[in-house]
């Protein structure tokens, strides 16, 4: 089987063995924002045509390629959902000499009935090296999933990474920031500050005020802001004392692990390639023709 993790800005293809092992992997700068309408099949053929020609005729795609802006829209499956529900919701994609299926996204509702969506992360969560507890995927839109018995019971999203970029790029806070070597101490200060009174919007002004009074160096202000936002996210999303399993890029997961510790939780890092394992597991449950 061929598995593809096809997101907004990235494309990762895996040739998977019968046991789900990754036999070969390829990456391309062909996230869906880099693909012209109608050219998705060309991209897939460019990246994996030789694998298909060699007899790998089952292709499973996950991620934003299944969104309205992608190749074919695969409707959201409601939580709770595990491998069986995702496999039952696969969307079929017309393609010449291979059978191409698309993993659906997941939807949920928070306790107040506000909707939640994910697309791509469900495959990583179900491919994670633990299958119970709280799983966090940090990023522009960080996801916190509650997993039990191999099923995703529900999840919440936090607009943390995108808010950081907007504040850094387009407010007075960014204008005071200078590139630095990275300050773990400033990051920790931000995480601690997030636990204090008067809310995030007040804490944001504090970034400027600390700078004005010489108590936060311009070179450390971005790390402090990062700690502030991640600290607010972790304190909102994580029950005190919880164990959190992290999936994602190493440097970002290290920041989250540190924030989780400071906020009284325990962090573990996912081992291996969660997306590939998740694609293999969903593929096993799929009804291939």
| Cβ atoms of 32 and 6 closer than 8 Å | yes
141 binds its own copies (CB under 8 A): yes
110 binds its own copies (CB under 8 A): yes
239 binds its own copies (CB under 8 A): no
Q: How far is Cα 111 from Cα 102, in angstroms, rounded to an integer?
A: 29
In the set 212, 218, 249, 271, which binds its own copies (CB under 8 A)? Answer: 212
**Which runs of consecutive H residues, i.e. helices, occur in the chain?**
40-53, 83-88, 121-126, 160-170, 172-176, 184-193, 199-212, 221-237, 250-262, 274-285
| Cβ atoms of 126 and 82 closer than 8 Å | yes
171 binds its own copies (CB under 8 A): yes
- As given in the structure block, the two tokens for residue 103 are 């993993």
153 binds its own copies (CB under 8 A): no
262 binds its own copies (CB under 8 A): no
Q: Please report how close the Cβ of residue 124 comes to its own copies at its closest, in angstroms.
A: 18
Q: Please report how close the Cβ of residue 107 comes to its own copies at its closest, in angstroms.
A: 8
Q: Which is nearer to its own copies, 6 or 155 (CB)?
A: 155
47 binds its own copies (CB under 8 A): no
In the set 37, 55, 94, 112, which binds its own copies (CB under 8 A)? Answer: 112
- As given in the structure block, the two tokens for residue 100 are 């191409």
| Cβ atoms of 86 and 208 closer than 8 Å | no
| Cβ atoms of 28 and 11 closer than 8 Å | yes
Q: Please report how close the Cβ of residue 194 comes to its own copies at its closest, in angstroms.
A: 10
| Number of other CB atoms surrounding residue 262 within 10 Å | 20
166 binds its own copies (CB under 8 A): yes
- Count of residues binding its own copies (CB under 8 A)? 46
218 binds its own copies (CB under 8 A): no
Q: Please report how close the Cβ of residue 236 comes to its own copies at its closest, in angstroms.
A: 3
Q: Please report how close the Cβ of residue 211 comes to its own copies at its closest, in angstroms.
A: 10
Q: Which is nearer to its own copies, 231 or 278 (CB)?
A: 231
- As given in the structure block, the two tokens for residue 220 are 């450390």
268 binds its own copies (CB under 8 A): no
Instruction: Determine the angle formed by the axes of helices 221-237 and 184-193, rounding to 10 degrees.
Output: 40
193 binds its own copies (CB under 8 A): yes
Q: Is 89 helix (H, G, I), strand (E, B) or coil?
A: coil
31 binds its own copies (CB under 8 A): no
Q: Please report how close the Cβ of residue 100 comes to its own copies at its closest, in angstroms.
A: 25
What contacts 72, CB < 8 A, 6 or more positions away? 66, 91, 92, 93, 102
Q: How far is Cα 159 from Cα 139, in angstroms, rounded to an integer?
A: 8
Q: Please report how close the Cβ of residue 102 comes to its own copies at its closest, in angstroms.
A: 18
The site for its own copies (CB under 8 A) is made up of 110-112, 114-117, 141, 156-160, 162-163, 165-167, 169-173, 193, 196-202, 204-206, 208-210, 212-213, 215, 229, 232-233, 235-237
């Amino acid at each position: 089987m061929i598995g593809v993790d096809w997101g907004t800005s990235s494309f990762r293809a895996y040739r998977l063995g019968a046991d789900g092992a990754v036999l070969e992997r390829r990456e391309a700068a062909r996230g869906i924002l880099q693909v012209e309408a109608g050219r998705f099949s060309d991209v897939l053929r460019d990246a994996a045509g030789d694998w298909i020609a060699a007899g790998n005729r089952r292709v499973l795609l996950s991620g934003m390629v299944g969104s309205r802006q992608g190749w074919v829209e695969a409707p959201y499956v409601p939580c709770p959902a595990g491998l069986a529900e995702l496999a039952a919701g696969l969307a079929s994609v017309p393609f010449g000499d291979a059978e191409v299926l698309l993993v659906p996204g997941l939807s949920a509702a928070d306790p107040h009935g506000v909707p939640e969506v994910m697309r791509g992360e469900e495959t990583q969560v179900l491919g994670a090296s633990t299958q119970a507890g709280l799983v966090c995927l940090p990023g522009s839109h960080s996801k916190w999933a509650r997993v039990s018995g191999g099923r995703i019971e529900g999840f919440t999203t936090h607009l943390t990474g995108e808010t950081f970029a907007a504040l850094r790029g387009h407010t007075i806070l960014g204008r005071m920031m200078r590139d630095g070597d990275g300050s773990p101490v400033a990051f920790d200060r931000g995480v601690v500050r997030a636990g204090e009174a008067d809310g995030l919007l007040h804490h944001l002004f504090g970034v400027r005020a600390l700078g004005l009074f010489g108590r936060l160096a311009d070179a450390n202000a971005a790390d402090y802001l990062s700690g502030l936002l991640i600290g607010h996210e972790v304190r909102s999303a994580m029950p005190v004392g919880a164990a959190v399993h992290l999936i994602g890029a190493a440097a970002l997961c290290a920041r989250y692990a540190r924030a989780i510790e400071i906020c009284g939780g325990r962090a573990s890092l996912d081992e291996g390639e969660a997306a590939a394992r998740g694609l293999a597991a969903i593929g096993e449950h799929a009804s291939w023709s």
